[in-house]
Chains A and B, each alone.
Chain A
């Protein structure tokens, strides 16, 4: 099984070490920002910001924190919609953006339910979390996990992380967090980033039922002046992919949320 990152939002204290460690390891530049009446900054993920901590104030007066980055979906919209195969699945299960192949078309940007990939205006390439492929292939943990001071981010084999997440949810429910749940077990057929939440996902800015509208994409593709056989082949493949995705999604619907 692939390794995943476990995000324990109730342990996260929003020190933003993960956000800086990501920029540091990946040598990503800082951009111009403004204070917008919320600590979240930059306000969204960007081609040069692959991890950020999202701060949310709830109506009940709580302040929620979540380290946000690419979810490395099992059913990844970005892989499926990329017309040139520039987004690939690595052996370790993560979703890798191949800058050499990327044409900057932005389809992945449109279809990602988590608003993760972004295209750089400067380079016209999509940028997002690589899962620290070069680190994990050497037996290291991703930079964000390594820097986390108190274990709010953990990295390990999926089954093991799921068990930790379940134990943690049980403990949180005993502490009175009746909404405690796991996010990422079945969403997009399983995320590479499992969240332990104490409120409903939308309270953290996470989509309640993430998915992507492949039909819209197909329609869009069909309208495009693509006449080559390559495109048609790609198109057919994606239709098949879409149908398969839809079938599996329906199958999973009953046990969709925990």
Chain B
């Protein structure tokens, strides 16, 4: 999130797109309702009348996978009605930058496409002799970002958009009028999103679409505004911060590649931009290496850079791992708090792939479907050779540690109860595992140095490791004095500092009262709560907050002043996100985005794998042709072998989509083992419209079979008025909606929706396309 939950109270319009906020993030409604008490409006954009749509002021039904068409329509509406905030985009974004003549876009494809990969060399600015981008501050040059973008989105007129999205014109216009009115300088529009936006073959561009719209309307960096990703798990923000994904190191440093970054000098040279705060990247990486290898890491040995495993240039994301596993290329696997046999796309392919493992270690609260894949229904266990170890884990209330919420607040939690029986904290398991591996390497092995040299000292023997030692290491310390670092501005690249995750630095800088443990409520103010826990980075609650005031430093909205220039100095209600010290507003007005080389936000972004502007494509499986261009799908998609043939709309005429309900959580392994939750939502069900029910003779609460190219599942039908057939072009399209919480284990078993979903993902992140695919449904 750019902002945070409590800040929602300052929004004038809240648009929930691809997020079912009431149903899956109920606490958000406390702050949304606070805003609505002042007259704010809540817009819900969702294929179904969800619990959010039911309580919203406006509901716009949208065909799954057409978010960019809708967002593009809103961007076009903003341009044609001149609702963009001109002073904001002129100063705070790259709207005025002139593009290189080689950049082009035609027939739904950007310049530089070769096979399924873009060469991004043409996605660049026209540079002057000094190498600086040329600009047109009148925004009239037809090659400036503003004009190129305006022309790009002129194709997204209301009729075209409604035909793609499947909504009616009045609904679209009401949403456009309501949300785009927040382009007024003193109005705050807030976009909430979650997996409905990201789980798509153009998911990253969906997110970009929200960001571009918010920049045009001047809604980034202001109280009540922002692009706010609502995380679906209590600590998933923390897990990405700590680099649970394959392509990053802690703190969002790119993972070193063997080919391009063989040495630390190579990494620093290729990964460190000349401008922006990322120019400090060598300090972050060296301090990370010092945290990991301590005294072993010196300037003479590249601080043990050589000991970091390097990527081989290949995608190693979730889909890729299971594709490799299906080919027998992976021997062993740790499945730690994850349940791909239920949560992974094309789940039966992934379950089958697990059979190729020699061993698996599953760490979880209960025996998951993944841990018991070898005795799943219709499988002969005798034929499966995999040795499975199940380690019982302590739940979040059974251990100490911090949890990072969607608003980047790192809040310390104290252990409330003892874990049952043999269940252990994740840290204890990791500590014991490391000690055992170290012992074996001490007896000999291939390349033992990185293991034997690891700076790992959190506890003796089998005692519970001291998690505060881990916290101090993450925060960072001086390597000589071992004193905690105040924050990441103190990091150095000479080995004098160690820091396990640079963005967290400062959260544990006081051993007596670590900021992450602070619990002081704000008495008066706008709900920043600066002394409640710690928000990364630097306890900053609203990112890009220079934009909360105009170029002269005056708050856009006098009712919610955040950081503003008054009496010859900056008045700070939050930690400033720009070089502010002794710097008057006119000198900071063109550099509010300190993490980007331009120091200004990117309406046009050269950094994406699939285009500098978000462009509408149909999902990999769709019942209709792309009405905007001849390019049916995102041209940069990787087509994995396991996906097999795509479905035809003749055989599989309906759009399948998956989602969660309030009563269950993720793959359900915790909630389907809770009798009270299972009592409320006991069985797998699918939702279809009354019209589809009548057409197929499916009555409410009867048994049905839902099938795709990947498989078939059984469920109870919920025939409901909350789903309507949609008019897409001149074709009536039906949606089959299904929660994905069920699996073959637990107190409340049921078939898994992900048996139906495809092994295909976004070109930037490879997040699977869980939200839109083709299916069929019939009476069981």
Contacts and interface: CB of A to CB of B under 8 A. Distances in A.
B436 interface: no
A31 B676 CA distance: 8
Interface string B16-28: 0000001100110
Interface stretch (B47-55, B244-252, B268-276): B47-55
A150 B26 contact: yes
A11 B683 contact: no
Contacts of A14: 22, 51, 54, 662
A64 B51 CA distance: 9
B352 interface: no
B51 A13 contact: yes
B757 to A, nearest CB: 21
B718 A20 contact: no
B700 interface: yes
A11 B52 CA distance: 11
A149 B22 CA distance: 10
Contact of A30 (B32, B54, B679, B720): B679
A216 B237 CA distance: 62
Interface string B331-368: 00000000000000000000000000000000000000
A13 B22 contact: yes
Contacts of B700: 37
Contacts of B661: 39
Given A13-B51, A13-B54, A35-B716, A20 B682 contact: no
A41 B716 contact: no
Interface string A163-180: 000000000000000000
Contacts of A63: 49, 51, 53-54, 722
Interface string B657-691: 00001110000000000011111111101000000
Contacts of B22: 13-15
Contacts of A237: none
Interface residues of A, number: 34
A161 B679 CA distance: 32
A30 B672 CA distance: 12
A42 B681 CA distance: 9
Interface string A139-172: 0000000000111000000000000000000000
Contacts of B52: 13
Q: B interface, how many residues as a size bin?
A: 35 or more
Contacts of B681: 35, 39, 41
B615 to A, nearest CB: 33
A115 interface: no
A160 B30 CA distance: 21
Contact of B680 (A11, A12, A16): A16
A57 interface: yes
Nearest to B701: A37
A150 B682 contact: no
A23 interface: yes
B29 interface: yes
A9 to B, nearest CB: 10
Contact of B54 (A32, A35, A65, A150): A65
A42 B679 contact: yes
Contacts of A74: none
Given A13-B55, A17-B26, A35 B701 contact: yes
B395 to A, nearest CB: 16
Nearest to B750: A35
Contacts of B30: 149-151
Given A13-B23, A29-B675, A61-B721, A34 B683 contact: yes
Interface in A206-248: none
A28 to B, nearest CB: 8
A146 to B, nearest CB: 14
A253 interface: no
B510 interface: no
Contacts of B679: 30-31, 33, 41-42
Contact of A15 (B26, B49, B53, B718): B26
Interface string B144-162: 0000000000000000000
B676 A20 contact: yes
Given A13-B55, A15-B23, A63-B722, A33 B29 contact: no
A11 B31 CA distance: 12
A175 to B, nearest CB: 8
B121 to A, nearest CB: 49
A62 interface: yes
A149 B27 contact: yes
A142 B33 CA distance: 22
Contacts of A124: none
A140 to B, nearest CB: 19
Top 9 closest A-B pairs, CB basis? Answer: A37-B701, A30-B675, A37-B700, A13-B22, A30-B679, A63-B54, A15-B26, A35-B683, A150-B29
6 contacts: A15-B23, A20-B676, A29-B675, A30-B678, A35-B716, A41-B679
